[in-house]
Chain A
Amino acid sequence: GQQLNQSPQSMFIQEGEDVSMNCTSSSIFNTWLWYKQDPGEGPVLLIALYKAGELTSNGRLTAQFGITRKDSFLNISASIPSDVGIYFCAGQRVDYKLSFGAGTTVTVRA
């Protein structure tokens, strides 16, 4: 599938901090999805975005579908220890196949 550039590759969080990650692509997507994967489990869908410019929240999570349809970001506000895990972005084109980013690993700063 098309390459999605997800950054940062990893980050350390301190409880209470806001964190942000994003995905960019050279291709246009119709849908952007954000997933979280805990160790040893399958990814779980967090937020789905369907329209350019759309800003959607799910609790402490906020994600936006970029106006150019080539990018998306995910923000986590007031992080808590259970926010650790791997976050994946995914973009979908008209053929319904998803392209995934390489993931952002979030760990707790000691």
Chain B
Amino acid sequence: SQTIHQWPATLVQPVGSPLSLECTVEGTSNPNLYWYRQAAGRGLQLLFYSVGIGQISSEVPQNLSASRPQDRQFILSSKKLLLSDSGFYLCACSRGTGELFFGEGSRLTVL
């Protein structure tokens, strides 16, 4: 079965600084990959999804971008963080069957 690794697990960054969150997947190939954000006490908001290398779809306009340089690597980035970017970021993968599997999450605090 697949395993999803995210790092860093926690991050505290000043406003205006860049961001890079990394996600790698093991145990599967050609997965669909997703980035979700979860604000405190809230549900899951889909930010980006990718069906293949270099293929990124954005669900909401925002200050963030995503890239998929390799089949099992998904990166979430920002050039300049905003306070509103704080949250819990979750990487997820699926094989198109509907079942979505999540990583451990990365907690970002922007000060």
Q: Which A residues have a C-beta under 8 Å from some C-beta of B?
A: 1, 30-31, 33, 35, 40-45, 48, 50, 88, 90, 92, 96-98, 100-103, 105
Contacts and interface: CB of A to CB of B under 8 A. Distances in A.
A40 B105 contact: yes
Contact of A96 (B92, B94, B102): B94
Interface of B: 4, 32, 41-44, 46, 49, 59, 90, 92, 94, 96, 98-105, 107
Given A42-B90, A42-B105, A96-B32, A33 B46 contact: no
A96 B43 contact: no
A102 to B, nearest CB: 4
Contacts of B102: 35, 42-44
24 contacts: A30-B98, A31-B98, A33-B98, A33-B100, A35-B102, A41-B105, A42-B92, A42-B103, A42-B104, A43-B44, A43-B102, A45-B99, A45-B100, A48-B99, A50-B98, A88-B43, A88-B44, A96-B32, A96-B96, A98-B46, A98-B98, A98-B100, A100-B44, A101-B43
Q: Most chain-B CB neighbours within 10 Å: which of A41, A43, A48, A103?
A: A43
Contacts of B32: 96
Nearest to A4: B43
A97 B92 CA distance: 12
Contacts of A43: 44, 90, 102
A96 B94 CA distance: 9
Contacts of A100: 43-44
A40 B99 contact: no
A105 B42 CA distance: 10
Contacts of B100: 33, 45, 90, 98
A5 to B, nearest CB: 12
Contacts of B44: 43, 88, 100
